[in-house]
Amino acid sequence: MLALLILVTVTLTSAHHPGEHFEGDKVFRVHVEDENHISLLHELASTRQMDFWKPDSLTQIKPHSTVDFRIKAEDAVAVEDFLGQNRLQYEVLISNLRSMLEAQFDSRVRATGHSYEKYNQWETIEAWTEQVASENPDLISRSAIGTTFLGNTIYLLKVGKPGSDKPAIFMDCGFHAREWISPAFCQWFVREAVRTYGRERHMTEFLDKLDFYVLPVVNIDGYIYTWTTNRMWRKTRSTKAGSTCIGTDLNRNFAAGWCRIGASTNPCDETYCGSAAESEKETKAVANFIRNHLSSIKAYLTIHSYSQMMLYPYSYDYKLPKNNVELNALAKAAVKELATLHGTSYTYGPGASTIYPAAGGSDDWAYDQGIQYSFTFELRDKGRYGFLLPESQIQPTCEETMLAIKYVTSYVLEHLY
Ligand SMILES: [Zn+2]
């Protein structure tokens, strides 16, 4: 009996993550003080494969910051020796990535189909978009705004009471494949909208007065790949002539200072900006939709993880947006509201100075199209689990994030332009 139980447990857990197993992989956090420390990390990167978790690449490391990166099991001892010998201050955030991968699936929900408290595979999310729209025809309509490189349909949910000339807020999730909490939030948001419309004063007012465009997963190909093959995948799955490397970083692919800073022209890099701005079908789909609805879209919200930040333009430059004072005050108030639920602390500010410079991002692009309220959310956590946030944190994370999103929505409704 015991043997059978063990067998069942092993089968169930390994079924969650076929492909790369990450046994013994470690995630380090290095405290970087000065340029010398940065050169040492460049030296390390020239001899060992480093998967950067925060910042997104080697070139984005700044003095007086921390750097999180994953190292393969076979390199872990050598890397730890290197850090020690060079007196770099570090911690091991994750000592065995495989255990963390298994620990992600800790939801007590037993559902085999779609669940808001679990991470759902793409086919489950796709079926959910159809179901949630058909069950709430007075509030939700589903449309397709394009297809991905591999031919998956990019769905968009329009959430709101029918009406003419309504202002709108556009929100997307799942730009980066491994940031699983992001699509979970878009699904949660839609559920909260239909669950509380007509019961809760604010949501009722929102959906009467405006529409939310919710794009549950932008980078569908990459998201599928994180389930089938490599949980740590970030980019799209597009191929390009002349390179065997796969994928473009969608959040470097927008026409906003494209590839000028904090992005790479090398297709093998995690921050590859693509062969041109909007070279990726997923970028084109989002950009075309927003361009075609510019007269109604008053706010752009894009959901990422991790690091608990609320960022606004610019990231492609250290220049400040025209309404910097207003955006700063709005972000400050929104993160204060978010913290009221569980005390989760967020930092906020313009992207370039708050996190790091990065060109080609969707928030900067949307802002430069004239959308005055443009924010990137980096959800939980601060690195304890990183991209492997356990399912048991989906609910608290989404609940607190709802408070910030609703705060921004109220503000936007009071400041229509
Ligand atoms: Zn991201």
Q: Does 378 participate in catalysis according to the annotation?
A: yes
Supply the pLDDT for residue 14: 45
2 CA distance to ligand 1 centroid (A)?
42
Q: How many CB atoms lie within 10 A of CB 335?
A: 22
User: Would you say residue 6 has pLDDT above 70?
Assistant: no
Give residue-wise pLDDT tens across range 336-376.
999 999 999 999 999 999 999 999 999 999 999 999 999 99
- The two tokens of residue 78 are 């050598």
- Work out the pLDDT band at 95, boundaries 50, 70, 90: very high
Supply the pLDDT for residue 228: 96
DSSP 8-state secondary structure symbol assigned to residue 17: -
- The residues, ordered by sequence, that sit 6+ positions from 307 with a Cβ below 8 Å of its Cβ are 54, 355, 378, 382, 383
19 CA distance to ligand 1 centroid (A)?
22
Give residue-wise pLDDT tens across range 32-88.
999 999 999 999 999 999 999 999 999 999 999 999 999 999 999 999 999 999 999
- Work out the pLDDT band at 289, boundaries 50, 70, 90: very high
Residue appearing with tokens 């970087």? 32
pLDDT > 90: percent of the chain: 92
Give residue-wise pLDDT tens across range 12-48.
444 455 678 899 999 999 999 999 999 999 999 999 9
d(CA 25, CA 46): 19
Supply the pLDDT for residue 16: 54
Q: Which amino acid belongs to residue 256?
A: A
122 CB-contact burial (10 Å; exposed 0-12 / middle 13-18 / buried 19+): buried
Give residue-wise pLDDT tens across range 234-256.
999 999 989 999 999 999 999 99
User: Would you say residue 107 has pLDDT above 90?
Assistant: no
Supply the pLDDT for residue 310: 98
Supply the pLDDT for residue 112: 81
Supply the pLDDT for residue 20: 82
pTM, rounded to two decimals: 0.94
Under a CB-based contact definition with an 8 Å cutoff, are residues 371 and 300 in contact?
yes
Respond yes or no on whether the N-terminal peptide bond of residue 314 is cis (omega within 30° of 0): yes
Supply the pLDDT for residue 11: 41
Question: Among 7-21, 100-114, 294-308, 362-376, whose mean pLDDT is lowest?
Answer: 7-21
Q: Which one from 278, 378, 391, 400 is the annotated catalytic residue?
A: 378
Give residue-wise pLDDT tens across range 146-190.
999 999 999 999 999 999 999 999 999 999 999 999 999 999 999
- The angle, 0 to 180 degrees and rounded to 10, between the axes of the packed helices 181-196 and 394-414 is 60
128 CA distance to ligand 1 centroid (A)?
23
Supply the pLDDT for residue 396: 98
1 CA distance to ligand 1 centroid (A)?
44
- The two tokens of residue 85 are 């010998």
Under a CB-based contact definition with an 8 Å cutoff, are residues 369 and 294 in contact?
yes
- The residues, ordered by sequence, that sit 6+ positions from 106 with a Cβ below 8 Å of its Cβ are 390, 391, 392
Supply the pLDDT for residue 10: 42
CA 86 to chain centre: 33
179 CA distance to ligand 1 centroid (A)?
6
Give residue-wise pLDDT tens across range 375-409.
999 999 999 999 999 999 999 999 999 999 999 99
For the chain, what is the mean pLDDT?
94
